[in-house]
Chain A
Amino acid sequence: MSVILDVQNLSVAYRGALSPAVNRVSFQLGQERLGIVGESGSGKSTVGRALLRLLDSADITADRMQFQDVDLLAASERQMLGIRGKRMSMILQDPKFSLNPIRKVGDQVAEAWLAHNRASHKEARARTLEMLTSVSIRDPERVYDMYPHQVSGGMGQRIMIAMMLLTDPQLVIADEPTSALDVTVRMQVLSILDRLVRDRGIGLIVISHDLNLVRNFCDRVLIMYAGRVVESLAACDLDRAQHPYTQGLLAAQPRIGGPRRPLPVLQRRPEWAEEPS
């Protein structure tokens, strides 16, 4: 399996903060689906943003941050402009906030193509319609001319997926891709993303607080606590997690048909944030 992304000892410190938001995180990604889970504030979104170099207000250090042939640490901003949205793209949590409310959704998707390719508007439109079809939008011609407020959350998120996959990226970072969606459409959106990622051999990083999602949808899972990776394991082995934090998170989750006793509460220990991962 070819390695798409190789990160060694990535640390991110926001200026003015006492401790780093991400502390010596290392992982490799091939053509697979990697989940990063943790509570709010554990630094999981910061990792995603650091990969795209979207953090102006933070100091990023790493021994190595290699994305295929590009050294992300050394790349100039000009190079990054050619990478962001073309070779590496990001799906955000809520389509309500990530789509421009006063532009037609189709034009916004087409813009991704026009920004990275010398192409006519007609060609961009044709590509967009094709891509909208592949995210299971039945009437792409009609949807192309709609505005974000006219589409549902599930359709909005499929439009975001279309926009992010239109340029044929090699790496997609999905930051909480379905937490704003209802459970009935969540599965639908996930299976569309899953199909496209598999068919195109894209490396996918899913950032989520939802253990069910990563368990069902990812191949491998990193569990983060206070900026560190405390455990890394195959998604199917999640029930056999060794680290007390992972075990605590799993136990705290109510389950359908579960017993009605009080839920076990996570007892946090200071050494989780200190011990080397």
Chain B
Amino acid sequence: MNPIHVRDLSITLGAVQILHGISFDVRAGECFGLVGESGSGKSTILRCLSLLMSSWQGEVLIGGENLRAMPLARRCKTVQMVFQDPYGSLHPRQSVRTTLSEPLRIHSMPDREARITRTMIDVGLPLAFLDRFPHQLSGGQRQRVAIARALILEPEILLLDEPTSALDVSVQAEILNLLSDLQARRGFTYIMVSHDLAVVDHMCDRFAVMQKGHLVETLTRGALTGIPEEQARHPYARELIDASIAYDRAM
């Protein structure tokens, strides 16, 4: 298990600078949260870390090794991503089996059937679902398939881009439980983007607050639960936390 260091991550698209010198560290085996309003650049950070966007400047180290210098196959085996919308991120004409065996084929990994079986059990889906297509699955089941697809290469780091915001609360509970359980058993490092501070509080010990492409403050869970010495100092971070707590409690 390796820690992640992000130093001065910046990206400019056209005339607009989307991220301004983002730096943060994630410990090995930790769940680190990224929060902020829409358009603040939280998802862009994940897209940079997974090199879905590659024109960024700065440095990302995974266990001391430069992310950009890692060979493609090894990078994909180390870092995997789960997307927000399970309705859009699964191929509609590929069965669950095809979706899960594709990464194994690309990485020429042995024992494909055994790995697929194990991953399906890990994410709590019946094996009979292997021959289903995405339209035959509910939202929660689809998100489990998306998580299974990310897990099947046995990565160390999972990038979670709002993994539950497209789901109902009851289904969200199942997916959050699954993610905590996998982390406890397999020691994954998570970077989790969310706009819901209740979810962040449930999953993460530390989180960073983003605003307009700047990382304004890195906080611990105490900032949400009211530990005096861990309170947010930046005015925007405080506004966001206060609004979320007010919304969570009463009006």
Q: Which residues of A contact B (CB under 8 A)?
A: 39-40, 153, 182-187, 190, 209, 211-212, 215-217, 248-249, 252-258, 260, 262-266
Type the 1/0 row for B215-251, where 1 means its CB is closer than 8 Å to any CB of A. Answer: 0000000001110000000000001100111111011
Within 8 A of A (CB), among B52-107: none
Q: Which chain A residues lie closer than 8 Å to B246 at the CB level?
A: 187
**Cβ-defined partner of B251 (8 Å) among A217, A256, A257, A263:** A217
Report A119 CB to chain B, min CB distance, Å: 37
Contact B169 A183 (CB under 8 A): no
Report B251 CB to chain A, min CB distance, Å: 4
Report B34 CB to chain A, min CB distance, Å: 14
Contact B197 A256 (CB under 8 A): yes
In Å, the complex CA distance between A264 and B240 comes to: 27
Q: Which chain B residues lie closer than 8 Å to A217 at the CB level?
A: 251
Residue of B nearest to A179 (CB): B165
A254 in contact with B251 given A39-B170, A183-B243 (CB within 8 Å):
no
Contact B170 A257 (CB under 8 A): no
**Cβ-defined partner of B170 (8 Å) among A185, A187, A248, A258:** A248
Within 8 A of A (CB), among B149-205: 168-174, 176-177, 180-181, 195-199, 201-202
Q: Which are the 5 A-B pairs with shortest beta-carbon distances?
A: A263-B173, A252-B173, A216-B251, A182-B37, A254-B202
Report B119 CB to chain A, min CB distance, Å: 21
Q: Which residues of B contact A (CB under 8 A)?
A: 37-38, 139, 168-174, 176-177, 180-181, 195-199, 201-202, 224-226, 239-240, 243-248, 250-251
**Cβ-defined partner of B168 (8 Å) among A40, A182, A190:** A40
Q: Which chain B residues lie closer than 8 Å to A260 at the CB level?
A: 202
Contact B225 A257 (CB under 8 A): yes
Contact A256 B38 (CB under 8 A): no
Contact A255 B198 (CB under 8 A): yes
In Å, the complex CA distance between A195 and B216 comes to: 33
Report A2 CB to chain B, min CB distance, Å: 26
Contact A263 B176 (CB under 8 A): yes
Supply 7 A–B pairs (Cβ within 8 Å), ascending by A: A183-B244, A249-B169, A252-B170, A256-B245, A258-B201, A265-B173, A266-B170
Contact B243 A257 (CB under 8 A): no
The number of inter-chain residue pairs (CB within 8 angstroms) is 90
Q: Which chain A residues lie closer than 8 Å to B224 at the CB level?
A: 256-257
Q: Which chain B residues lie closer than 8 Å to A264 at the CB level?
A: 173
Q: Which chain B residues lie closer than 8 Å to A266 at the CB level?
A: 170, 173
Report A273 CB to chain B, min CB distance, Å: 15
Q: Which chain B residues lie closer than 8 Å to A263 at the CB level?
A: 173, 176-177, 202
Residue of A nearest to B246 (CB): A187
In Å, the complex CA distance between A264 and B176 comes to: 11
In Å, the complex CA distance between A209 and B244 comes to: 17
Contact A183 B195 (CB under 8 A): yes
Contact B243 A187 (CB under 8 A): yes
Contact B247 A212 (CB under 8 A): yes
In Å, the complex CA distance between A248 and B245 comes to: 22
A182 in contact with B38 given A256-B248, A260-B202 (CB within 8 Å):
yes
In Å, the complex CA distance between A182 and B212 comes to: 14
**Cβ-defined partner of A265 (8 Å) among B139, B174, B180, B226:** B174
In Å, the complex CA distance between A26 and B173 comes to: 30
Q: Which chain A residues lie closer than 8 Å to B170 at the CB level?
A: 39, 248-249, 252, 265-266
In Å, the complex CA distance between A265 and B243 comes to: 27
Report A85 CB to chain B, min CB distance, Å: 29
A183 in contact with B198 given A254-B176, A256-B225, A262-B180 (CB within 8 Å):
no
Q: Which chain B residues lie closer than 8 Å to A265 at the CB level?
A: 170, 173-174, 177
Q: Which chain A residues lie closer than 8 Å to B139 at the CB level?
A: 40
Contact B202 A216 (CB under 8 A): no
Q: Which chain B residues lie closer than 8 Å to A209 at the CB level?
A: 168-169
In Å, the complex CA distance between A252 and B224 comes to: 19
Q: Which chain A residues lie closer than 8 Å to B197 at the CB level?
A: 183, 256
Contact B226 A257 (CB under 8 A): yes
Q: Which chain A residues lie closer than 8 Å to B243 at the CB level?
A: 183-184, 186-187
Q: Which chain A residues lie closer than 8 Å to B181 at the CB level?
A: 262
A255 in contact with B169 given A184-B240, A262-B181 (CB within 8 Å):
no
Contact A255 B248 (CB under 8 A): yes
Contact A153 B38 (CB under 8 A): yes
